Amino acid sequence: MAGAGQTTGTTDSRALAMSAALMAIFTTIFASNLPTPLYAVWQAQWGFSSTALTAVFSIYVLGVVSTLLTLGALSDKLGRRQMMVPGLLFIMAGAVMFYLATDIYALGAARVLTGIGTGIVTGAASAALVELEPNENWTRAATLSALFFTLGAFAGPTVSSLALKWGASSALGWPFLVVIALTLATIILLLTAPWPSHIGQRHPEFRWRAWRPTPVKVPRELIGAFAFAAAAICLAWSTGSLYASLGPSLATKLIGINDRANAGLFAAAWQLMAGFSQFACQRQPVDRMLIVGPMTLIIGLGVMAAAVMASSPWMFALATLATASGAGATGVVAIASISNVAPPETRGGIISAFYLMAYLTMATVVLGVGFVSDLIGFAATVIGFTSVISLAALSLLIVAISTKRVTLW
Q: Are residues 26 and 155 located together in one domain of the fold? A: yes
Q: Where are the alpha helices (DSSP H) in 282-346?
A: 286-310, 313-341
Is the same domain home to 184 and 221? no
Claim to verify: residue 230 and residue 374 sit in the same structural domain: yes
Can you give the pTM of this predicted structure? 0.75
Residuewise pLDDT in 10s, the chain (409 residues): 344 455 545 566 678 888 999 999 999 999 999 998 888 888 888 888 878 888 887 888 888 888 877 765 665 566 678 888 999 999 999 999 999 998 899 999 999 999 999 988 887 888 788 778 776 666 677 778 878 888 898 899 899 988 888 875 556 788 999 999 999 999 999 988 887 766 655 555 655 555 555 666 787 888 888 888 888 899 888 888 888 777 877 888 888 787 777 877 888 889 889 888 887 887 777 778 888 899 999 999 999 999 999 999 899 999 999 999 999 898 888 877 777 777 777 776 787 788 788 888 888 888 888 889 888 988 999 999 999 999 999 998 888 888 766 544 4
CA dist 164 → 148, 158, 171, 284 (Å): 24, 10, 9, 39
Which residues are CB-contacts of 187 (< 8 A; sequence separation ≥ 6)? 85, 88, 89
Q: Do both 186 and 226 map to the same domain?
A: no
Same domain for 23 and 169, yes or no, is yes
Same domain for 117 and 34: yes
27 and 139 in a common domain: yes
Domain boundary among 135, 161, 195: 195
132 & 260 share domain: no
Do 246 and 131 belong together in one domain? no
What are 7's strand-pairing partners? 196
Q: What distance in Å separates the CA atoms of residue 248 and residue 36, rounded to the nearest whole number?
A: 8
pLDDT digits (tens, 9 = 90+) for 322-333: 999 999 898 888
- Looking at the domain assignment, is residue 71 inside a domain? yes
- 173 and 41 belong to one structural domain: yes
Residue 209 lies in a domain: no
Instruction: Please report whether residue 123 resides in a domain.
Output: yes
Q: Evaluate whether residue 200 is within a structural domain.
A: no
Under DSSP, the state recorded for 251 is I
Query: DSSP secondary-structure letter at 103?
Result: S
Domain membership of residue 48 (yes or no) is yes
Give me the CATH number covering residue 50. Answer: 1.20.1250.20
Q: Based on the domain organization, do 157 and 18 belong to the same domain?
A: yes
Task: Report if residue 55 sits inside a domain.
Answer: yes
Q: What's the length of the chain?
A: 409
The rounded distance, in Å, linking the Cα atoms of 221 and 224 is 7
Phi-psi bin for 257: left (phi > 0), alpha (psi -120 to 50), beta? Answer: beta
Residues 138 and 282 in one domain: no
Beta bridge partners of 195: 6
- Domain enclosing residue 331, as ranges: 216-408
* Residue 2 forms part of a structural domain: no
User: How many domains would you assign to the chain?
Assistant: 2
Q: Are 366 and 240 in contact (CB under 8 A)?
A: no
Residue 7 lies inside a defined structural domain of this protein? no
